[in-house]
Amino acid sequence: MTSALLTDLYELTMLHGAREAGTASRRCVFEVFTRSLPEGRRYGVLAGTGRVLDAIADFRFDDADLRYLRRSGLLDEETLEHLAAYRFAGDVHGYEEGELFFPNSPVLRIEGTFEDAVMLETVVLSILNHDSGIASAGSRMITAARGRPCIEMGGRRVHEDAAIAAARAAYIVGFHSTSNLAAGAHYRIPVAGTAAHAFTLLFDSEEEAFRAQIASQGAGTTVLVDTYDVEAAVRTAVEIAGPQLGAVRLDSGDLGVQAHEVRALLDSLGATDTRITATGDLDEYRVEELTEAPLDGYGIGTRLVTGGGHPAPGFVYKLVEREGADGAMHPVGKRSQDKATLGAGKAAYRMIVGERAHAELVLPGESEVAEFERELIAELTSGEANPEWARTSLRPLQKPMILGGEPVHDLRAPAVVEAARARHAASVAELGLSPDDGPDGPPAIPTVTDGVEAARVLS
Amino acid sequence: MTSALLTDLYELTMLHGAREAGTASRRCVFEVFTRSLPEGRRYGVLAGTGRVLDAIADFRFDDADLRYLRRSGLLDEETLEHLAAYRFAGDVHGYEEGELFFPNSPVLRIEGTFEDAVMLETVVLSILNHDSGIASAGSRMITAARGRPCIEMGGRRVHEDAAIAAARAAYIVGFHSTSNLAAGAHYRIPVAGTAAHAFTLLFDSEEEAFRAQIASQGAGTTVLVDTYDVEAAVRTAVEIAGPQLGAVRLDSGDLGVQAHEVRALLDSLGATDTRITATGDLDEYRVEELTEAPLDGYGIGTRLVTGGGHPAPGFVYKLVEREGADGAMHPVGKRSQDKATLGAGKAAYRMIVGERAHAELVLPGESEVAEFERELIAELTSGEANPEWARTSLRPLQKPMILGGEPVHDLRAPAVVEAARARHAASVAELGLSPDDGPDGPPAIPTVTDGVEAARVLS
């Protein structure tokens, strides 16, 4: 299937109406942003950008698509011919994948004619909302895990294709591996998994099951010990595998209490290097509670892949600037009571002091950085001079991704996912958050839109 | 891509271990069920069965899959050859798509050898958890809408492929149409949509935008009236389209208050047949609150496609019965502290009195219906004879779907979705719930497992 039908009907009826009215070729700037973070979230993590760029590259209507649209009777033949020839020919700039976002961060900017850019709304939002929802939740879980490796294993709780994207998003925010084979195959993410309860139940005794698993997977495997009686299972597994037993997995009951008991038992059996992993309805709060338990890793599923209670960051795709009848560009924005938007394309920088992020700077109009800096300096020096200024830098957040319809980089390479993982790690480190503060709080840095506000943050 | 890699690694390592141990060809019964409904849910709606059967039919490893698995080094050559030849050869029975489920309803039963059935776990659960999560939420929204048509428009808030399945699930529970073109093309679901704010903003004035839309889509279109000023927009739209104007859409602000104002305004302008539709963060609670507002339809997005706060019903895929070394079948089940399961394959019936569902009957072992009936009758007649018994019937819930690897029906036809829609409507009607009771409460009917419990429900 092409990506072109992953689209809401209204994008095509708008295109059709604009073509008939002669406004379809007006130059337009669309931006993707969210107005706020979910309650308690300190930051969001952008994920899916690589997949968006793939989808834009693949966005073309094939014969089956066009037959369907023709049959629907909603578009005229001339519009259908236009769609048949459609290739996105505009520009895309955006935050790097793995980068953090805050309220009003312009994470993606699409520029082109109205008819070029309007059709991408649904597929762009689907991908960024989905992948970023998971990445934003997962990043909190990784922080709570304090370096203990986490396996993503939630594929069974989400749409079967979404499972692959979920594993990708989880890997970007620092998950060690995934249970999902398709994600392993597509994105070269390490895969993990050994056995479920069904394996133990298949055999006439737990001992036979463990013997079979260890014979097949080696002593380094992870044995699931809670099918019948945990203590008996641990003894049996060590008896068979010896102290080389890789790990035991707990999947039910009070994980914290059991971890202490199982650690003591393993140590008493000489299996001091055997690890203990925990699974079962874990999220950042449960993982945080397990900090003191002698656990060596977590398997995290449902709560991760469903976005930890906030499945989509609420990204919207808004027209912020467009050519008018006069041929000039004009900022535009809705004035509805509760959803007013700032017009005009925006530039975004992370304001860094030393090695710490202090603000998300979102400036209307790309040309105004110099003005911002003058304003900021004037503000800072009008009062007491702030020594921090010398250590302050502005990291540009928007990078060119597609120019004139051509991808700037090869965005399908596995290196894309690794680069996003590195970007995420670096940007989270810049926030300087400690897991001791718990996962919840206000946005870690404020979003500022001019030099006066920025100066207030620095002083 | 094949569906075979939509699988967790552990299914293949278990298969491998069982093959080496000589237990892979033991006959097995796996069941899909959920232990409880989410807090406040009166029932769940099973959706995705048709897609599951498709996925089982497509479940085969192609050359690329096998290359990946070979490279991973996790399986030996003999197992890879087995996978290359794999076709599911077992039986599948299950609840009809669109049917309701309750705690412990055995919605799907997969029978076959261990190696045949174990591999389907992830793809079966992904599809049923995803689609049923949306159907279960959507069904409540349809009840709350009290006959006003609802459009599914949430595709932009979920994974781009999940969006198609979401539209399908929504249609099954009674949504009128979807914004998603791919869902329209794949499943012949009616599509809807006219214009976004971007269309109004593209033009130099709202009037020009409305003229363009009405010229292109006809007076029967739905005009979005909240970009600038609602009252002015309504006047402009009626001026251009006349009283034939199809509908106006409100997408922000206090929808209830505005609906009254806009209705009065439309009526005063003679547009008495022009409908008013509302969109914007709606769910069953908001829709219920809007009952008294003069609205003619709803567009529902985020809360629907993300499962209304409960994205997955928690379906699990459990081995409940398997052949032992003695060649006989044995019920099996995990005995963990908080997740114990009843062993043995189960039969399920909805107990109906007159036209009302009274209980979900889940009987261990298919052969015991006669025994249940004896038990029930004995129980009822031992005390006071219950006249309801004469009007009581047991509707069998499990239907054959795949026998010996062959699909029983053509499950890809669009008729599948229509049949599911009819099944859902009939089963919800049997519960006799009123929207006046609000969406929340305990399960609408109890799950009973023997004649004594059933008799208690009837008396």
Q: What is the pTM of this model?
A: 0.96
Note whether A216 contacts B160, CB cutoff 8 Å: no
DSSP-derived letter for residue B179 is S
- Write the CA distances from A171 to A288, B170, B199, integer angstroms: 20, 31, 38
Instruction: Judge whether residue B189 has pLDDT over 90.
Output: yes
Q: Report the relative pairing of strands A222-224 and A247-250 from DSSP bridges.
A: parallel
Which A-chain residues 234-253 have CB contacts (< 8 A) with chain B? 251-253
E-only strand ranges, A185-315: 222-224, 247-250, 275-279, 297-300
- Residue B56 host element (H or E): helix B49-57
Question: How far is the C-alpha of A302 from the C-alpha of A158, rounded, in Å?
Answer: 8
Nearest CA of chain A to the CA of B356: how many Å? Answer: 32
Question: How far is the C-alpha of A26 from the C-alpha of A324, rounded, in Å?
Answer: 7
Question: How far is the C-alpha of A101 from the C-alpha of B248, rounded, in Å?
Answer: 35
CB atoms within 10 A of CB B185: 20
Note whether A158 contacts B126, CB cutoff 8 Å: yes
Q: What confidence score (pLDDT) does residue B1 get?
A: 64
What is the average per-residue pLDDT within A391-405? 92
Quick one: fold of A9-133+311-458? Answer: nicotinate phosphoribosyltransferase (3.20.140)
What is the average per-residue pLDDT within B440-452? 92
Note whether A191 contacts B3, CB cutoff 8 Å: no
Note whether A202 contacts B319, CB cutoff 8 Å: yes
The pLDDT mean for chain B works out to 93
Report the complex ipTM: 0.95
Note whether B126 contacts A163, CB cutoff 8 Å: yes
- Write the CA distances from B32 to B108, B124, B319, integer angstroms: 5, 9, 9
Q: What confidence score (pLDDT) does residue B33 get?
A: 97
Instruction: Judge whether residue A342 has pLDDT over 70.
Output: no
Please, what sign has the CA dihedral across residues B73, B78, B79, B80? positive
Q: What is the pLDDT of residues A186-212, one digit of tens each?
A: 999 999 999 999 999 999 999 999 999
Instruction: Judge whether residue A366 has pLDDT over 70.
Output: no
B325 touches chain A (CB under 8 A): yes
B328 touches chain A (CB under 8 A): no
Question: How far is the C-alpha of A138 from the C-alpha of A135, rounded, in Å?
Answer: 5
Phi and psi at residue B327, to the nearest 5°: 80, -5
What is the CATH architecture of B157-309?
Answer: Alpha-Beta Barrel (3.20)
Question: How far is the C-alpha of A208 from the C-alpha of A434, rounded, in Å?
Answer: 46
Instruction: Judge whether residue A96 has pLDDT over 90.
Output: yes
Residues in chain A: 459
What is the average per-residue pLDDT within A422-441? 96
Q: What is the pLDDT of residues A38-79, one digit of tens each?
A: 999 999 999 999 999 999 999 999 999 999 999 999 899 999
Q: What confidence score (pLDDT) does residue B338 get?
A: 52
- Which sequence spans correspond to the domains of chain A? 9-133+311-458, 194-276
Note whether B311 contacts A311, CB cutoff 8 Å: yes
Question: How far is the C-alpha of A263 from the C-alpha of A257, rounded, in Å?
Answer: 10
Q: What is the pLDDT of residues A111-170, one digit of tens each?
A: 999 999 999 999 999 999 999 999 999 999 999 999 999 999 999 999 999 999 999 999
Which chain A residues are Cβ-neighbours of B184 within 8 angstroms? 9, 68, 72
Instruction: Judge whether residue B121 has pLDDT over 70.
Output: yes
Give residue B2's pLDDT band: very low, low, confident or very high (50, 70, 90). Answer: confident
Instruction: Judge whether residue A338 has pLDDT over 70.
Output: no
In this complex, the residue of A30, A161, A201 whose CB is nearest that of residue B332 is A201
Question: Greater confidence, A233 or B337?
Answer: A233
Q: What confidence score (pLDDT) does residue A386 get?
A: 63
Q: What confidence score (pLDDT) does residue A28 get?
A: 97
What's the angle, vertex CA A410, arms to CA A408 and CA A415, rounded to 5? 125
Q: What confidence score (pLDDT) does residue B258 get?
A: 97
In this complex, the residue of A122, A198, A334 whose CB is nearest that of residue B155 is A122
- The single residue listed with the structure tokens 């909240």 is B226
Q: What is the pLDDT of residues B308-340, one digit of tens each?
A: 999 999 999 999 999 999 999 999 988 754 555
Q: What is the pLDDT of residues B72-94, one digit of tens each?
A: 898 999 999 999 999 999 999 99
Note whether A162 contacts B335, CB cutoff 8 Å: no
Question: How far is the C-alpha of B403 from the C-alpha of A396, rounded, in Å?
Answer: 60
Q: What is the pLDDT of residues A273-308, one digit of tens each?
A: 999 999 999 999 999 999 999 999 999 999 999 999
Give residue B390's pLDDT band: very low, low, confident or very high (50, 70, 90). Answer: confident
Nearest CA of chain B to the CA of A77: how many Å? Answer: 14
Which chain B residues are Cβ-neighbours of A253 within 8 angstroms? 336-338
Spell out the CATH class of A194-276: alpha beta
SS (H, E, C) A145-193: HCCCCEEECCHHHCCCCHHHHHHHHHHHCCCCEECEHHHHHHHCCCECC
What's the angle, vertex CA B388, arms to CA B386 and CA B394, rounded to 5? 120
Question: How far is the C-alpha of A271 from the C-alpha of B441, rounded, in Å?
Answer: 50
Q: What confidence score (pLDDT) does residue B384 get?
A: 59
Interface residue of B10, B125, B128, B281 to substitute, partner A, most A CBs within 10 Å: B10
In this complex, the residue of B28, B30, B216 whose CB is nearest that of residue A16 is B216
Q: What confidence score (pLDDT) does residue A372 get?
A: 76
Q: What confidence score (pLDDT) does residue A455 get?
A: 82
In this complex, the residue of B1, B122, B195 whose CB is nearest that of residue A156 is B122
B35 touches chain A (CB under 8 A): no
Q: What is the pLDDT of residues B22-34, one digit of tens each?
A: 999 999 999 999 9
Please, what sign has the CA dihedral across residues A180, A184, A187, A189? positive
| Chain A with chain B: Cβ pairs closer than 8 A | 334
Instruction: Judge whether residue A383 has pLDDT over 80.
Output: no
CA nearest to A146, candidates A289, A305, A310: A289
DSSP-derived letter for residue B96 is P
Q: Assess contact for B182 and B173: CB atoms under 8 A.
A: no
Nearest CA of chain B to the CA of A127: how many Å? Answer: 6
Nearest CA of chain A to the CA of B366: how many Å? Answer: 21
CA nearest to A13, candidates B360, B215, B186, B365: B215
Instruction: Judge whether residue B351 has pLDDT over 80.
Output: yes
% of chain B exceeding 90 in pLDDT: 84
Instruction: Judge whether residue A237 has pLDDT over 60.
Output: yes
CA nearest to A68, candidates B117, B14, B188: B188
Nearest CA of chain A to the CA of B193: how many Å? Answer: 4
% of chain B exceeding 70 in pLDDT: 94
Q: What confidence score (pLDDT) does residue A314 get?
A: 94
Nearest CA of chain B to the CA of A164: how many Å? Answer: 8
